[in-house]
Every structure is written in C-alpha cells, then in structure tokens.
Chains A and B, each alone.
Chain A
Amino acid sequence: MNVSKKTAVAVCIVMSVFLLVGTAFAAKPKGTAEKEEGVYTIGMIVKNLGNPFFEACERGAKEAAAELGDKIIFTGPDVPTAEGQIALIDSFIAQRVDVIAPVANDPDALIPVCNKARNAGINVVAWNSPMTSEGVDIYVDNPTAESLGRIEVQMLADLIDYEGEFAILSAAATMPNQNLFIEWMKEELKLPKYSKMKFVGTVYGDDLREKSYNEAMGLFKSYPNLKGIISPTTVGIAATARALEDEGLSGKIELTGLGLPSEMAEYIKSGTCGKMALFNPVDQGYLSVYASHTIASGEIEGNVGETFSAGRMGEFEIVEVKGQAPSIIMGEPFIFDAGNIDEWKDVY
C-alpha cells in the first residue's frame, strides 16, 4: 500500500466516522436549547458589517429587544453580497431562530433561502430594502417619498417665513427617488399657505460634489432674489452648503433638504443649513424588532389591514404597497437641527 492510498483510506475512515456520529446524534431530540415561552430570538442580517448606519439600527433593535425581553442576533456578511447573507440565513435556520430579518443585498437571490426558512416555521421580516411576498411575510419600509417630499417644503417654509423665491438642487434628472420627492414637493406647494413662495426652477448636480457646487454657484448668480434652496440629495446639500459659505451667503439664502448628519454637522451648527431631514436608523431598528416580535407571537399574521403597537413609536398598520410584501411604513422622517445634531453626527 503506497502512501497516498493509505492517506486516502485514512481520510475516508475519518469522514465516515464523522458522518456516523453525526447520524447518531441526529436522532437526538432538539431539546438542547429549550425555548422560553414568550421569548423570541430574532436574527437580523444587514448589508455588511462596519456600516455606521446599521450600527445605529442595532442600537434601536437592542432597545426594542430589551423592552420586549427578546434575544437579538445582529450580524452581516463581511462584504455586501447575497451569497454571504444566504450563508447567514442558513445558519439561522439551523439555529431555529423565531424570526429572520434581512436587509437584502439582492432581494431576488434571498427568495429561495427565505422560503426554506418559512417552510421550517420561521417568520421572515424584511426591512430597509424592499422584498416581495414571494420571500417574506412583511416588510418594514422607510418613510415614503410623499412624507420625505412634503417635509422638505415644510422645513423651508419655516426657515424663510413662507415668503420668497426658492430653487431645487437635485441629483441627476433620471433618478427616480429624487424625481418622486420633487413631485411631492410640488404637490405640497399647492396648499394655500405657500402662496407667497415662488418656485423658480430645478438644477441637477448629478450627485457629484464638483458639479453640485458649480450648479449652486450658478443659482446664486441667476436668481439674485433667491431666499432658499432645497436639495433632496445628501451630496447636493453638502455641496450647496459649502458654496453658500464660500460665497458668504450663509444666512441670506436658507438651505434645507435630505442630508447625512455626519457630513452636515458643521453647516447646521454654523447656521448655513437651518434644518434637514432623513429617516432615523435607530427607529428603524426598533420598529423592525417590534414587527418581528408581533409576527412571531402570532399577534399579527402579516395581512394588510392588521395593526400592532410598537412601544414608544405608537400604533402601526400593515398597508399594501405595489411591488412589496405587506408593508409597515415608518411614519415621518426625522428632522435634524442645531439642537440635536451633536447626538447624531457620530451616528451616521
């Protein structure tokens, strides 16, 4: 018997012993980790680890879990791929968690493994990134485009006392999100209280810092009476804020929109940007855990029209949104101003 043959035999023996032991233990009842009544294990999978946005979500998720007495496993793959998330979902299925709550990197690729989980009696609750009812029971949605659009007009009106010219500095003309926001802004402007506000036009910075900066400069020149700018994109609002400060127009032209606290903190503190909005990741984690808990306990089944209470965030109703599983809409966007920006600037 030569060496490689011996090794092959030895390897085979080891593998078969291993499999036999495995089979022997397979018969063992799964009572090793007995479940406590009313305590649910929720496995949350984010896009990838090390993302400050999701670290903020984790804080909210842990807060909700502490209130409900649930157990949270918060994890994600090392790179944002669907394959990594599938492996994690597989391990959650093996651990017999009660709910799996993924933020899908690829909604389609998670469908088979999510259905495997559902067949094993595990509820699947998607959040932050939409999935259809093919794969999940319910989806905890971000605030709607409607609320994000309307609130931007409300914030600006508040900053310029409902009077004067204003422009919009958007991302690219083709971006569906921003276009939707702008449509809702126009809808909000139809209300009589905005009658003295004049919308002069939209420019596009293509979500590039340099171009957005130049477009903002162009606005200052084209509209000498400009009182305000709305920028419904995180890149645009930061570039506009810098342009305003460079030109010494801070305070003369008011700025608002959707921005990241970490990028905007200095401009909010200096008063260049009076206030801005975005949704609150802590609340998103909190709400997702409450939704997971209520569906695991059987309080709701995940049908449109059902309602449930989510602790400090109040009552929520499951609604129908086209192209999504029955959805829970996370209510109003969160407003950042000089009063609260310090808490948030390190969060995301």
Chain B
Amino acid sequence: MNAEIGKKKNVFFRRWEWYLVILIIFVNIVNVYLSPYYLNMTNLMDMTFNFMEKGFIVLIMAYIMISANIDISVASNIAMSSVVMSVLYQSGFNIWLAVLSGLCTGAAGGLLNGLIVTRFRLSSVVVTLGTYSLYRGISFLILGDKAVTKFPEGFSYVGQGYILNSPVPFQLVVFVVIAVLFILILHKTTFGRYVYSIGTNEEACRYSGVKVDRIKVILFTLSGFLSAFSGVFLTSRIGVSRPSIALNYELEIITIVVLGGVSMYGGKGTMAGVILALFLVGMLRYGLSLKNVPANMILIIIGLILICSAIIPNVVYGVRKRSEFRKEI
C-alpha cells in the first residue's frame, strides 16, 4: 500500500495482500507439518464454523473503518438481537418471524448508532462505546441470567448444517455470497468510492456534494443488520441464546480488519485484505488449537503478528526511501 504514484510497474507485488498470502502459506505449511489432522477436507471445512460469524461483521467493519469510523457495539448488538429473537420465539412466535424481528432489532440498533453519529456530529468511538454497554445491558434486562434453548430443527440447520451431503457448511456458502457482494460494492460502485473518499477527507466530500451523513447512516445500519445476521448464525450454531453471547467479539473483529491492511485513519484497505486476514487468523487459531496450544499463548501469538504487521510497512518504506536516496546521490 505504500507504493508511490507513478511507479506502477512494481506496485502489484508491493501490496499488503501479498504479505498476508505469504503468512497464510507459512501458517498452512507449519500447521500441516505440526498436526496430522490439519490437512483434511472435513476438518478444514469444520474449522470455518468458528470464525464465519465474525466474518460477516468483518466485511462491514472494513467499510466502516475505511470511512474512518468504527463500530464497537457489534458484539453487544449480536447479543441484543439474539435475545430479542429467542424471547419472541419462546413466547410463541414462528421461528422465522422471530429471526426477522431479530434482524430488525439489530438494524435498528445500527440505525441508532448512525443517527447519533451524524445528527450530533459525534465521534463514532464515543457513540458506539456507549451503545456497546447499552445493548449488552438491554440484553441482560430482557433475559437476566436465564437462557433460551430448544430451537426447532430447521433453525439449527442455519448454523450447523452442511450443503447436501458434502462437508461444505451452509454458513460458508452464505459468507462467500455476501463477501462477493461486498467486494463488488466497495471496489466497483460509486458508493464504494464514496466510502473511501469519506475516509480520506470527509470535509472535502461534504463540499463536493457527497451525501456523507446518508452514507454513514447506511453503513452503521448495515453493521447492525449484519451483527444480527451473525447473531442468528451464532445462536443456531450453539443452540442457545443468552445475554453474554459473543463476548469480546468486537476486539477480535477489529483486530482482523486492521491486520487486513485497513488503516485506522480511514481511506485505505481492500476487501481482499480483510478476507485474507480473517482466514489467516482462523487458520492460525485452528492449527494452534489442534496442537493444544493454551488459549493464552494463542492470544500472544496473534498479538505479536498484529504488532509486526503494523511495524513492517514502516520499516520497508524507510528502507526503500533510503535506497532511493542513495541512488539519487
């Protein structure tokens, strides 16, 4: 991402995504070498169960962070919509009607974030930090320390099912479809261009007549909707809904987006990068857990990779600058 304009020739291989590809290849080689159970179609497919729910949110979080915003309330929104959905189901609603209400709840939660951010011109960090507690609190208010279980068979398929008799999880297919949609929108439409330009210079966008506020509201609403969507899959997969569901997800999601090359200051990053980062973290976690590496150790490793990834571009950039400087002399 640091390639200078006008030097198109070598730009392609200097892209951040290659660093992730190399890391993924490295992680896979190490995993295969370390565990005889890693390279197995069924296992590799089952692996995706553990990070697909985060994946849905990673997609929209990338948009939000490219536009120089952030949504910290996503995991709390998962809990709130999951709890609303399951309480409605418990009180006699049809399960799919309950799912729909859950999705609406999530979208409404996102809409509220978006409206507060745009109407009051507040920082999204502050607003979503507030709703982060608010939505989790509402879930506890509704369900307390109880849990809702015993969802019908058809609903269990959403999060646990496979496509026909293949080892391909239904979840993965849904993710691929949504991911393709998100890639196309970000990189091929005016809307996508606007998201980048808001992240680069919001004021300039406003003066050029871009409906900045509207785009932000759309992004936050979508984020709420996808959180609820992810909540439906998570609830179905674990077969239980409770207020403490999806605890700490937001941090992992933001980690993946940053690792994927999206700048915290907005304007930079690609869908390919964040999707690669999602799989990188998923594969790394899975490989390490197959070797029964303690969870604390896994956190340390992921933390180190994130820090290295943040440092490397700066170092590379510095080295390149210096060598160019020497050539000029």
Contact = CB atoms under 8 A, between A and B. Distances in A.
25 contacts: A3-B15, A4-B270, A7-B270, A11-B17, A22-B39, A22-B40, A22-B44, A26-B41, A26-B42, A30-B40, A75-B292, A75-B294, A78-B295, A81-B248, A84-B295, A86-B237, A90-B47, A91-B289, A91-B292, A95-B35, A95-B290, A108-B147, A108-B149, A111-B149, A112-B239
A25 B39 contact: yes
B133 interface: no
A311 to B, nearest CB: 25
B37 A94 contact: yes
A91 to B, nearest CB: 4
Contacts of A79: 247-248
Contacts of B25: 14
Contacts of A26: 39-42
Contacts of B47: 90, 94
A161 interface: no
B290 A108 contact: no
B218 interface: no
B156 A112 contact: yes
Interface residues of B, number: 53
B43 interface: yes
Contacts, number: 121
Interface of A: 3-4, 6-8, 10-11, 14-15, 18-19, 21-23, 25-26, 28, 30, 32-33, 49-50, 73, 75-79, 81-84, 86-88, 90-91, 93-96, 106, 108-109, 111-113
B36 interface: yes
Contacts of A109: 147, 238-240, 242
Contacts of B296: 49-50, 78
B46 A90 contact: yes
Interface of B: 11-12, 15, 17, 21, 24-25, 28, 35-37, 39-44, 46-47, 49-50, 147, 149, 156, 160, 183, 187, 234, 237-240, 242, 244-248, 270, 272, 275-276, 279, 285-286, 289-290, 292, 294-296, 298-299
A94 B239 contact: no
A77 B28 CA distance: 23
A106 B21 CA distance: 37
A32 B44 CA distance: 17
Contact of B285 (A81, A87, A111): A87
A44 to B, nearest CB: 11
B238 A83 contact: yes
B201 to A, nearest CB: 21
A41 to B, nearest CB: 10
A274 to B, nearest CB: 36
Nearest to B49: A90
A87 B238 CA distance: 11
Given A26-B40, A83-B245, A94-B37, 10 more contacts: A8-B183, A21-B39, A26-B39, A49-B295, A50-B296, A81-B248, A84-B295, A95-B35, A112-B156, A112-B238
A209 to B, nearest CB: 22
A87 B11 contact: no
Contacts of B276: 11
A7 B247 contact: no
A258 B199 CA distance: 59
Q: Max chain B CB contacts within 10 Å: which of A4, A11, A87, A112?
A: A11
A57 to B, nearest CB: 15
A30 B35 CA distance: 12
Interface pairs A-B: 10 shortest CB-CB: A32-B36, A26-B41, A78-B295, A91-B289, A109-B238, A25-B39, A108-B240, A109-B240, A94-B43, A108-B149
Q: Max chain A CB contacts within 10 Å: which of B21, B39, B237?
A: B39
A79 B244 CA distance: 12
B36 A4 contact: no
Nearest to A1: B12
A96 B37 contact: yes
A11 B292 contact: no
Nearest to A6: B12
A11 B41 contact: no
Contact of B24 (A14, A28, A33): A14
Given A84-B295, A95-B37, A106-B242, A3 B12 contact: yes
Nearest to B235: A109
Given A23-B41, A109-B240, A33 B187 contact: no
Nearest to A111: B239
A125 to B, nearest CB: 18
Contacts of A14: 21, 24-25
B57 to A, nearest CB: 14
A11 B21 contact: yes
A91 B295 contact: no
Q: Max chain B CB contacts within 10 Å: which of A94, A111, A112?
A: A94
